[in-house]
Amino acid sequence: MSELLSPADVQAAGEPIAMLKAALNQVLLDQGAVVDRVTTAVLARGHVLLEGLPGLGKTELCKGLARALSLPFKRVQFTPDLLPGDITGTYVLEGEAKALVFRPGPLFASVVLADEINRSSPKTQSALLEAMAERSVTVLGTTHQLPSPFFVLATQNPIELEGTYPLPEAQLDRFLFRVQVPAVGAKTLASILTQRTRGTPPALKPVLDAPALERLFGFVDRVHLPQPVAEYIGRLVEATHPAAPTAPDSVKRFVRYGASPRAALGLASSARAWALAKGKPNVGFDEVREVALAVLNHRLVLGYEASLEKVAGGQVVDDLLRAVPEVIRG
């Protein structure tokens, strides 16, 4: 068992986390909830799917994150004609001997922006599966390790827009969070117009580097997860399955398939990261509830009944949180 965090450790982690959030808040004005989620996912070493209409700053947020963390960054614009080899890399013939040499693709960076990921075909989307789960890619039978740390931040247009392809369930399950980026109000728009020439965000200065980030990862791993909280996470994930005796009515009516064990691991890791960001050395029920929507909303496979009644995954998660007790008494 890892040594528990001391008050000094929590304080030591708090300053760089606050600096990272402050930097990202310079890029994305008045979107504190989105910045909190992205920061939490980074601390939990997870991938993030940012969903929203074009022009809301999703791409700039990803670029700003890489800059603030001093990590190598690559951007891939997903289009219908993009091929898997364009992402993973491929072998090419070089030299007089025509030897096969591997040329790494854009996945070989620490922060990879998959821009408008649902503009490409499912075949190309699936090229990210191994990279996101195993931190490696296999080309022509040879496995190549990706850099550490490694994050995929994907932006996605709402699937109702023309020319988009819904991500497969296996792909969605690899994302720790799906975060909705809402439209901004008139006050924020006025700030953008008066403070930014042509809307360009300020050039961020790095606030962390790879060793400092690894130190934060170590702090997150030492955040204590009490047994009652772990059992609560288990009950939440179990109740996402329609056949479970504890499933609420909305799950039984609208969900075809519930969340996988990866969702339980995601709840635990992100709750640890969120607790540390709040200055706590241990995870409470509140932290689990506060990250549950971002972890579970994309992992529930809804049936046609949900489409007919216009029920989204987030509504089912809200029902789930109301229905599943934190502690079983007696």
Token reading at 43 = 């601390």
The contacts found for 137-146 with CB under 8 angstroms, 24 or more apart, are 137/88, 137/89, 137/105, 137/107, 139/85, 139/88, 139/89, 139/90, 139/91, 139/102, 140/91, 142/102, 144/89, 144/102, 144/104, 144/108, 146/107, 146/108
pLDDT band at 98 (very low <50, low <70, confident <90, very high): confident
Per the CB < 8 A criterion, the answer to whether 177 and 49 are in contact is yes
| DSSP class of 31 | -
What does the pLDDT read at residue 118?
84
pLDDT band at 325 (very low <50, low <70, confident <90, very high): very high
Q: Which domains occur in the chain, in start order? A: 1-221 (3.40.50.300), 223-325 (1.10.8.80)
What is the distance between the alpha carbons of residues 59 and 153, in angstroms, rounded to a whole number? 9
Question: By mean pLDDT, which of 7-21, 24-38, 67-81, 161-175 is the weakest?
Answer: 161-175
Token reading at 316 = 């089912």
What does the pLDDT read at residue 241?
96
Place of tokens 């403070």: 195
For residue 187, pLDDT over 80 is answered with yes
What does the pLDDT read at residue 161?
61
How many other C-beta atoms can be found within 10 angstroms of the C-beta atom of residue 79? Answer: 14
Cis peptide bond prior to 261, omega within 30° of 0? no
pLDDT band at 191 (very low <50, low <70, confident <90, very high): confident
For residue 330, pLDDT over 70 is answered with no
Place of tokens 């007919």: 308
- Cα dihedral value 299, 300, 304, 308, nearest 10: -100
Burial 258-288 (b: 16+ CB within 10 A, else e): bbeeebbbbbbbbbbbbbbbbebbebbbebb
Token reading at 286 = 């509140």
What is the distance between the alpha carbons of residues 218 and 211, in angstroms, rounded to a whole number? 11
Task: Give me the mean pLDDT over the 248-256 stretch.
Answer: 93
Place of tokens 């706590």: 280
Task: Give me the mean pLDDT over the 265-274 stretch.
Answer: 97
- Mean pLDDT of all residues in the chain? 90
What is the distance between the alpha carbons of residues 148 and 143, in angstroms, rounded to a whole number? 15
Q: Does the pTM of the predicted model rise above 0.85? A: yes
What does the pLDDT read at residue 197?
74
